[in-house]
Each structure stands twice: as structure tokens, then as C-alpha cells.
């Protein structure tokens, strides 16, 4: 433990205290005084760094950490604050080693200044910046988290010239709530190496919607085929080229054949509301398509359920093997299936039948019989009443 100096002048005590507050811990006269300590003390004392060095020498602190560059003629608090870190172990940026990208971005965020401006000022103060390329002239508080390898865990920080994966771009964009294209552009501007060159059309290709909760496709939400075909229609690009671009951006393919020239009705049957617009039908790889979507699509297009199913299967969707397609679509079947919250992988039990009967006004026996005909499994040995509920009947 460094003993308290025997000084009477409170200003001198502040100068030799590590936190420049006149209290323990104290600078050790046997160790070099950090370069940043000199700069910050000069700004606090409103004197030149050279004058601060001279006063430290007079107080017995003759060894000053060298930056390899002349001391600046003057330093104000705005610049001096750039070299201070919120770290009890290492409160200053160390001038003996190049400034890391993380240190520079954290400093820029705390100061509300651009990375380029902070880089210039630190260089003027005698620091070496680890990177050599131009930095963004606009401030962005998201820069720090964009460069963390695992924003949700114990990730490390990317440094100058590191290679960034496409997956990192998607995950970082999701974490900071910006488009993957914007994240890619920003990461490239920070001197990091991307596996691809960002393109203007990426913004449109990855735009999922207009709500804050679902604005961009990303790590946990992939673009459905309907969206890809819609972007191709709007931009004039080949759907296959867009699928290839998505793979470059870190996404898997849509899972089915990609039509070179989509049919007009493809947009209809691939849209969740069967209106040819977003939201687009999302491929369910676990339980497959819902039967009622096929039946609704059949009524809207005039094509049979089997034909609709065949086309959707071509486009990467699938109907569970237990499902039994009716020859024709019926509104009554659609209303019934809308009341069933069980997939074809699940058993339909008595409580589910009674709920559907109550919501449709049909008898439990009728509901049970029709669900069985449509492929649902009803394992319970129950004699369902052939009478409609009083409320439903009225």
C-alpha cells in the first residue's frame, strides 16, 4: 500500500491521488505516472501538460509514462475526459498500447461524439489507434453492442480488422433493433471484415413489416417464399438470385422449388390472408400446413383442395400425413377447423370436441365424426351425444 504523501497543499494532494480527488489511493513515486493522469490533471488544474509534469517532478514523481509523441500544448476537459475509463482497476486508457476498437467506441458513446472525432482527438493527445482506415463521422450509440460477439452472454469484443460472420450481423442487428443491412454497413465502416459487400436491395429483401416487433427478418425469423417472390416482383430481380443472396446473408433457403416465373395465384395461396399481400405464409417444419388455409385458398381461387396442396408442397410447404383432404372445400369445415387448436400430431380429446361443438352449434357427435373424417385422431372411448347445446341451438 502506497503511504499518504506528506504534503500540505490540497492541490498537490489532489494531483498525486489516483482519482484526482485528494484521497487514497495515491500514485506510487517508484512507478511511472500514467500519461492519461497527466492530461486529465492538466485539464482539471487549467494548466499545460508540461506544467503538470514539472509540478509532479517537484513532488518526487519524476518518471512519466511516455507516449512517443510530444505532450500537447494544452488540453481541455472535453478532450481530457476521453482518456478516462469507468474502471476501478484501470481508470485510464493505457498510452503504451494501441487503443482497441472497443475502447474507442465506448469512449465515443460516453462522450456522445463520433468514432472519427474521438480517434482524431486521441491521436492528438498522443495515443495510437489500432486501426488505420477512416471511421464513421456520425455518432451511433449502438456501435459498442454491434461489435460484441455475444450480446446476450459473455461475449468478447471484435477488434480492428476482425472477420465478422453473417450470423453475427443478424444477431447483432436483432439485439440493437436495426436492419441487418444497416448493421452490416456500420460494421464495415468500423473497419471490420464482412463475408459479403452490403447491397442496397438487402434493405428491401430483409424488411419483414411495419411493426416494431416484426420489422426485420433476422437470426430467429427467416424470409418466407412469398416475401422473396414479392421482392422479385417489385425489383425485377430473379427469385433464384434473391434466394442465393439470402444464403449469402446468413439465411437458409425457403425449402421448396423457387419458381422462375410465379403464377398470379402463387401470391394468393402464399399469403396468410389469401389476398396476395403480406403477411406471408410461414413454413411450419413441425406440424405442416393448417387444413383450413388450404380450404380457404380453394374457395378463393376456385381450385380443388388437392391442387392447392400440390402447389403449396411444390413451394416448400407440406400437409401432415394424417390429414385427409376433402374433395371440395366447405365453409362448414373451415368454421369447424378454426375452433380446433390441435395439430395433426396431437390427439383431440373430449374437451376439445365439446368446445368445438359449443362454438359451431353442431352436436358433439357430428363434430367428432367430421374431425375423424378430416384425419384428426380421437382416442377417447366416448359416446358423443347427437344433440346440440341449448345455447348453440338457440
- Helix, strand, or coil (residue 210): coil
CA atoms within 13 Å, Cβ hemisphere of 387: 4
Q: What is the DSSP letter of 299?
A: H
What grid cell was written down for 365?
357427435
Task: Specify the pLDDT at position 213.
Answer: 59
Q: How many CB atoms lie under 10 A from the CB of residue 88?
A: 9
Contacts for 170-177: CB closer than 8 Å, 24+ residues apart: 170/218, 170/219, 170/249, 170/250, 171/218, 171/219, 172/145, 172/146, 172/147, 172/148, 173/216, 173/218, 174/216, 174/218, 174/219, 174/220, 175/145, 175/151, 176/142, 176/145, 176/146, 176/151, 177/212, 177/215
Cell 509523441 sits on residue? 69
CA–CA dist 3, 228 (Å, integer): 70
Cell 420489422 sits on residue? 215
Q: What is the DSSP letter of 60?
A: T
User: What pLDDT tens digit does each residue of the chain (394 aa) get?
Assistant: 788 788 889 999 999 999 999 999 999 999 999 999 999 999 999 999 999 999 999 999 999 999 999 999 999 999 999 999 877 778 899 999 999 999 999 999 999 999 999 999 999 999 999 988 899 999 999 999 999 998 776 778 999 999 999 999 999 999 999 999 999 999 999 999 999 999 999 999 999 976 655 689 988 888 999 999 999 999 999 999 999 999 999 998 888 889 999 999 999 999 999 999 999 999 999 999 999 999 999 999 999 999 999 999 999 999 999 999 999 999 999 999 999 999 999 999 999 999 999 999 999 999 999 999 999 999 989 899 998 865 444 4
CA–CA dist 4, 59 (Å, integer): 13
Amino acid at each position: 500500500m502506497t503511504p499518504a504523501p506528506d504534503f500540505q497543499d490540497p492541490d498537490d494532494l489532489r494531483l498525486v491521488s489516483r482519482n484526482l480527488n485528494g484521497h487514497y489511493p495515491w500514485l506510487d513515486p517508484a512507478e511511472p505516472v500514467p500519461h492519461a493522469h497527466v492530461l486529465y490533471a492538466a485539464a482539471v488544474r487549467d494548466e499545460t501538460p508540461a506544467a503538470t509534469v514539472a509540478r509532479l517532478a517537484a513532488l518526487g514523481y519524476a518518471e512519466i509514462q511516455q507516449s512517443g509523441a510530444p505532450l500537447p500544448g494544452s488540453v481541455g476537459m472535453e478532450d481530457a475526459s476521453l482518456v478516462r475509463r469507468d474502471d476501478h482497476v484501470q481508470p485510464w486508457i493505457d498510452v503504451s498500447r494501441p487503443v482497441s476498437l472497443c475502447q474507442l467506441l465506448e469512449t465515443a458513446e460516453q462522450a456522445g461524439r463520433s468514432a472519427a472525432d474521438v480517434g482524431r482527438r486521441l491521436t492528438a493527445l498522443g495515443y495510437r489507434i489500432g486501426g488505420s482506415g477512416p471511421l464513421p463521422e456520425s455518432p451511433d450509440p449502438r456501435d459498442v453492442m454491434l461489435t460484441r460477439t455475444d450480446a446476450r452472454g459473455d461475449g468478447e469484443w471484435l477488434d480492428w480488422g476482425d472477420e465478422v460472420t453473417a450470423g453475427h450481423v443478424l444477431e447483432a442487428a436483432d439485439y440493437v433493433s436495426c436492419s441487418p443491412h444497416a448493421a452490416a454497413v456500420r460494421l464495415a465502416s468500423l473497419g471490420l471484415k464482412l463475408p459479403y459487400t452490403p447491397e442496397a436491395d438487402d434493405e428491401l429483401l430483409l424488411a419483414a413489416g411495419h411493426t416494431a416487433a416484426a420489422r426485420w427478418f433476422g437470426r430467429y425469423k427467416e424470409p418466407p417464399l412469398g416475401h422473396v417472390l414479392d421482392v422479385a416482383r417489385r425489383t425485377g430481380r430473379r427469385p433464384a438470385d434473391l434466394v442465393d443472396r439470402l444464403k449469402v446473408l446468413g439465411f437458409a433457403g425457403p425449402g421448396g422449388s423457387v419458381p422462375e416465373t410465379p403464377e398470379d395465384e402463387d401470391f394468393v395461396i402464399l399469403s396468410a390472408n389469401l389476398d396476395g399481400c403480406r403477411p406471408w405464409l410461414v413454413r411450419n417444419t413441425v406440424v405442416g400446413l393448417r387444413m383450413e388455409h388450404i380450404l380457404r385458398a380453394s374457395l378463393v381461387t376456385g381450385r380443388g383442395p388437392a391442387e392447392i396442396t400440390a402447389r403449396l408442397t411444390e413451394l416448400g410447404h407440406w400437409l401432415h400425413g394424417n390429414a385427409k383432404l376433402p374433395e371440395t372445400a366447405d365453409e362448414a369445415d373451415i368454421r369447424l377447423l378454426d375452433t380446433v387448436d390441435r395439430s395433426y400430431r396431437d390427439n383431440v380429446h373430449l374437451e376439445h370436441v365439446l368446445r368445438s361443438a359449443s362454438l359451431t352449434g353442431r352436436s358433439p357427435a357430428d363434430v367428432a365424426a367430421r374431425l375423424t373424417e378430416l384425419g384428426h385422431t380421437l382416442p377417447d372411448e366416448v359416446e358423443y351425444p347427437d344433440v346440440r347445446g341449448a345455447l348453440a341451438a338457440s
